[in-house]
Amino acid sequence: MSESRKAGSVILANLAMFNESVMLFEDEIQPAFWEALSKAIEDWVNNPEWIGESDKYIKISPLKWRICSSEEEGYTAATFDWSFSEGNQRSYYLADLCGFGQDEMGFRFCVKHDAFGGKSKWNKFCKALPVSISSGLQALGFNDEGLGMFFIPIKLNPNLLVNAWENEDYEEIMQPVVTVLEKIKQSIPIFDELFSLAKAAGLARV
């Protein structure tokens, strides 16, 4: 019998408990951890040097990356967007965050291509990036995804899940979130160098 058949047999033999567990997890447990994660990000971003959103779609950016003009209210040249590493959303995101799912979650550095003359120009420019850019970011925990995109994963300690839930205290389990945010802060000079290289190469606006 395959492992999936065995797992299915266990579920069916305990269907009532499984159904109740799933509803509790989806309706109460996972939303509680999501709220705590959003709050950790919001608290960290709450300073004059950063801007961001921490509701349904989480994205943050240094205030100095904001571009304003007379034609538009303003936008940022790049953001760090909360996302999946591979885009696989089959697992519960709490399982992904704890290393039990099928994907990783974290922040992805994403540029606004029109701030750099368009996607084609940006992609061509990034094919010849100095090794120092990638190596510097990798030293901070970023994965180089190519074409100027970098992803830094977050992993929560699964051993702290029960204690956080039972005591309604999520500060300790969310510490890896704060650690990654600090790594992002440390990465800003490297990304500033990336922008300077783009400007020197003739890419527009920044």
- pLDDT per residue over 39-93, tens digit each? 999 999 998 899 887 666 789 999 999 887 544 555 789 999 999 888 767 889 9
152-205 pLDDT, tens digit each:
999 999 999 999 999 999 999 999 999 999 999 999 999 999 999 999 998 865
Burial category of 108 from C-beta neighbours within 10 Å (exposed 0-12, middle 13-18, buried 19 and up)? buried
Q: Taking a C-beta distance cutoff of 8 angstroms, is the pair 48, 63 a contact? A: yes
Q: Are 65 and 78 in contact (CB under 8 A)?
A: yes
Query: pTM of the predicted model, to two decimals?
Result: 0.90
The secondary structure of residue 205, as a DSSP letter, is -
